[in-house]
Structure 1
Amino acid sequence: MDTPTPRVALGMALRGVAHAALDISDGLVGDLGHILERSQVGALVDVDALPRSAVLASQPDGIQRECVLSGGDDYELCFTAPAGNRDTIAAISERLALPLTRVGAITPEPGLRLVDGAGNPTRYQGASFDHFAAP
Structure 2
Amino acid sequence: MLMHPYLDVLYSPKLKHFLGGFDIYDREETLGAELAEYDPDCPSDRLDLIYKFIVKRFSALSYRHKFVLFFVLGEALDGETSELSEVFKHDPFSHSLLPLGWNEMKDPRGFFEHVYSILSEVWIDELYLASQEDCSTW
- Mark yes or no: TM-score above 0.5: no
Higher relative contact order, chain-length normalized (CA < 8 Å, sep 6+): 1
Hey, which of these two has a bigger chunk of strand by percent?
1
TM (norm. structure 1) is 0.28
Hey, which of these two has a bigger chunk of helix by percent?
2
